[in-house]
Amino acid sequence: MIFGMIRIAFFVIIFAICVLLIWKSRLIHKRRWYLSALAVTIVLTTLSTFVPIENAFITFSSPTAAFEHINTGSVKLIVNGEETDFVVAEKGNADSYLIIPKAGNGWKMGLGTDTKRIAHKFSNGVSIEVYQYKNTGEYYITVLNTEGGMLEISDNHNSEFSYLDKHNASLNETFYTYYAYVKNFDAQYILTVNGKTISII
């Protein structure tokens, strides 16, 4: 988040320079120019949060550092892909997901708009979601047992599944969510949960 503050400070300085230039100029209706400069600064500051200009000159040392650059929440799990990593974070009682692109020996900043949910299925109390990074062959699957308890889970891609658990004290039940990287997810993908096969598409 420190870089977000730096970004805001940068545009504040730009606005201050504009105000100084307008003040020293011979322009008439200076108040109108001040308001225009403020409006442009606000627009540019807002747009900068959607365009990761830092990616042009900053490479992060870890996917966690790249995530924390513009996101809040505690990183709970990182699922490794080939060209990306899938970050699972928790803020309060809610989980958030973000796919972070790799770059050489580091990671670049990921945007929420680049993490696309392309499939969702509910079967026998199991909620399944598939996420894709942009239009690449990088896919990640999440599998939640909404009835609580652990699952026996595998797929026809020999994917390696990791899990996070969350205990619900009021229900006295522990809920498990499983995560895996799936290279080139397609219509032939088959998930097996507790011995039952599930086609996602």
Q: pLDDT tens digits, residue range 18-60?
A: 888 888 888 888 888 889 888 988 888 777 666 666 666 778 8
Average confidence score pLDDT of the chain: 88
Is pLDDT at 124 greater than 80 in this prediction?
Answer: yes
- Please tell me the predicted confidence (pLDDT) of residue 117: 95
Which pTM value belongs to this model? 0.78
Is the Cβ–Cβ distance between 182 and 159 less than 8 Å? yes
69 versus 103: which is more confidently predicted? 103
CA-based nearest residue to 60, from 124, 10, 104, 118: 104
Average pLDDT over residues 150-175: 93
- Please tell me the predicted confidence (pLDDT) of residue 52: 64
User: Token digits for 170?
Assistant: 């009021």
DSSP codes of every residue in 130-180: EEEETTSSEEEEEEEETT-B---EEETT-PPPEEEEEEETTTTEEEEEEEE
32 versus 80: which is more confidently predicted? 80
93 versus 156: which is more confidently predicted? 156
